[in-house]
Amino acid sequence: MLRHRLLMVGFALLLAAATRIALAADLPLLLAERYAGNVDVSQYWVSEKLDGVRAHWDGRQLRFRSGNVVNAPAWFVSGLPPRQLDGELWLGRGTFDKLSAIVRREISVDAEWRQVRYMVFELPEATGSFTDRIDQIKMLVTQANVPWLQPVEQFRLVDTRALQKKLDEVVRGGGEGLMLHRADALYETGRSAALIKVTPWQDAEARVVAHLPGKGKYAGMLGALQVEMPDGQRFSLGSGFTDAQRRNPPLVGTQVTYRYRELTSKGIPRFPRFLRVREVF
């Protein structure tokens, strides 16, 4: 009887999780294209690419990119202005896993959230150029006057040489890379060349379709994930995992993010490395 009850509870939890994922729909936000070296850097504002969790404030609720509500403390959201904001929940460089654990809790912990900052880099649906919106962001942050709401620092660079120098500096310091946002761009949604990410690697997402068993020191654990790209091609993703992740790998059906150097002639990532689960919070 107890075993039956446990099975029923487990099934209910899986069903609830599946329903949550099915109901989630990515919000219509501005998404970046990848830097190809063919832009006039002087026409863009530049900022650090933060390794945080994307969050949209609609003036009343804070939501993940998935559309699910962030379970932030009441004091955290009450300090935000009554208009739309787009940004990253952030702790600092190299702290994504810690941040992820904090923001996905069903019941928020005040002491943990006191460390979190909401770094704003865009004003959805605002008028004017991005340069105009930078000024508006600064004004809103100043008016809110709460320490956890901050603008992402934007600066200008003169050319690709200066861009490469800054990229090297950020990466050496543990940063992810840089973002370029065209200075004269009006606000838009979807993937656009108005916003460009610059990193020393390529990254993409794929869906887990199978677990491949480990051998040798990984016997009894995950050896690699078999994943499927959006175009239907499959490949094995076997590096970048901690031992804990190999003992408890991402579930089949999960979307994962990986890094790679380049694509082969067949369109398969070369030297792919697991980065993280793209969680539907």
Do 31 and 65 form a contact (C-beta atoms < 8 A)? Answer: no
3-state secondary structure of 86: strand
How far apart CA 22 and CA 18 sit, in angstroms, is 6
**HSE toward the beta carbon, residue 261, CA cutoff 13 A:** 3
pLDDT of residue 280: 59
Q: What is the pLDDT of residue 8?
A: 41
pLDDT recorded at residue 54: 95
* Residue ranges of the chain whose pLDDT lies below 50: 1-24
Tokens of 268: 């398969």
Distance from C-alpha of 93 to C-alpha of 78, rounded to nearest angstrom = 26
Structure tokens at 38: 């063919």
CA 14 – CA 81 distance, rounded (Å) = 37
Domains of the chain with bracketed CATH: 30-198 (3.30.470.30), 202-277 (2.40.50.140)
Q: Which amino acid is at 133?
A: R
Note the pLDDT of residue 263.
85
Give me the residue label for tokens 């480990």.
214
pLDDT for 178? 97
Element holding 179 (H helix, E strand): strand 178-182
Interatomic CA distance for residues 154 and 188, integer angstroms: 19
CA nearest neighbour of 51 among 281, 276, 280: 276
Q: What is the pLDDT of residues 100-131, one digit of tens each?
A: 999 999 999 999 999 999 999 999 989 999 99
Instruction: For residue 188, give Cα distances in angstroms to 39, 54, 130.
Output: 19, 17, 11
Q: Is 41 helix (H, G, I), strand (E, B) or coil?
A: helix
DSSP secondary structure of 217-237: GGTTSEEEEEEE-TTS-EEEE
